[in-house]
Structure 1
Amino acid sequence: MWTVVCVSVSVCVLASGVSPSPLRTRRDAPLAKADEVNVLMYGVLQFSESLHHMYQSTEARLARVARAIHNTESVVQRLGLDTQQAIRTESQIKQGLSLIKEQMEVLQAEAQQTRGVVNRVEQEDTELKLKLRELEQNLSILTSPNRISALRETTQKHNTLLDDLTSWTRQHKQQLENQNLQLLELQKQSRVLQNH
């Protein structure tokens, strides 16, 4: 602002014909008219006001730009934090899925083993029932008291064995159902984690 005032004073002095140096004086130089000086002063004032207005508007623009840069930096910082959180979450999900897959493989192996055992027990159960029927038929044919007693003992042993096998089969079927339920639950959890 002071520069503008100094420039305007210098212009007025030059326009009035006064020498800027006090050592040189020109007496034959024509003096500027008052109207010309006024017009010149008015122009200088207009110029200084324009400069002042431009300075203020530039300062306001710079402040807006600084705010925009600050906001952008905040957004970038938040995005960086969100990205780090997403990476951590993805890692946790991958670990959870890996653990679930391992558990599913173990359960499937156990389920296959149990199915094999159950199938064998059911086959043995069927064979024992057939033998029992044959024994009952033979019992009706044989009328000897000793043979009847021996057949009864054999039948009782077979019945006891059959009851044990039936109980064992039920237990293994129950274990197989429990393992299947666990497997279904793990598959649901796996789908939920994969959807996230």
Structure 2
Amino acid sequence: MMMWGLCLLCVVMGLAPVHAAPVKTAGSTEDVNVLMFGVIQFGESLNYVFETTEAKIARIAKTLNGHEGALRRLGEQTEQAAEVEKKIKEVIALLQDQISKQQAETKMTEGQLAHIQQEEMALWTKVRRLEMYLKSTSPTSIKDLQERTALNASILKGLQHLMQFQKQNMENHNQQILTLQKMSEAL
């Protein structure tokens, strides 16, 4: 719209000297026609430049809007990636904490198992001594010794069951530790 105003201004300016001066010859009318034709062509050129510039500006604005949308989506994806990374770090920390606890429980269980094994060995030693003592003692005290031996044997069996339970518990802890380690390595 502004471009048309500029074109009309140029046309009016080009015609102003023609009306102010008297027409002298036929050659000057031809000059005026040539000037008018030039002004019209100049106006059309300016209009074309205006329209193409306006179209270019519209394309640039559209491209910028597209880039802004892509940047916004990229920003959202970056935020999501940061959130996922934070959650992964939290999971790894939890897994490491669980692994530490499992390892501590395994060491404690190993210590208990070693203690039970020592007690078992001590009881077997006592049972052997009692058996040897039974062989060398009189028949009245043999009955007492047999009762003691039966009691010690039942205690020994109980300790064996407890030791077996502790071994199984330790194997379970070791398996859990391996599983947790594999999970933390996979992350």
- In the alignment, structure 1 residue 3 sits paired with structure 2 residue 6: yes
Distance 1:122 1:67 in 2: 81
- 158, 161, 167: which is aligned to 2:155? 161
What's 1:188 paired with? 182
- The AA in structure 2 aligned to 1:37 is V
- The answer for unaligned runs of 5 or more in structure 1 is 20-25
Q: Secondary structure at the match of 2:84?
A: helix
Deviations 1:85-106 (A, max 9, x none): 2222222222222222222222
Distance 2:123 2:156 in 1: 7
Displacement, 1:2?
3.5
- Pairwise CA RMSD: 2.3
Distance 1:125 1:154 in 2: 16
- The AA in structure 1 aligned to 2:101 is V
TM-score by length of 2: 0.83
Displacement, 1:59?
0.6
Aligned pairs for 1:98-177 (under 5 A) are 98-140=93-135, 142=136, 144-177=138-171
TM-score by length of 1: 0.80
What's 2:81 paired with? 86
Aligned residues, how many? Answer: 183
What's 2:172 paired with? 178
Greater mean deviation of Cα atoms: 81-90 or 111-120: 81-90
Distance 2:9 2:76 in 1: 55
- The AA in structure 2 aligned to 1:68 is T
Deviations 1:40-90 (A, max 9, x none): 222212211111111111111111111111112112211222222222222
- The answer for unaligned runs of 5 or more in structure 2 is none
- The AA in structure 1 aligned to 2:115 is R
Displacement, 1:135?
3.6
- The AA in structure 2 aligned to 1:186 is L
Displacement, 1:162?
0.8
Distance 2:153 2:185 in 1: 47
Greater mean deviation of Cα atoms: 38-47 or 163-172: 38-47
Displacement, 1:163?
0.1
The structure whose RCO (Cα within 8 Å, separation 6+) is larger is 2
Distance 1:58 1:9 in 2: 25
Deviations 1:129-159 (A, max 9, x none): 233334434444x263134323322321221
- The AA in structure 2 aligned to 1:100 is L
Distance 2:137 2:6 in 1: 141
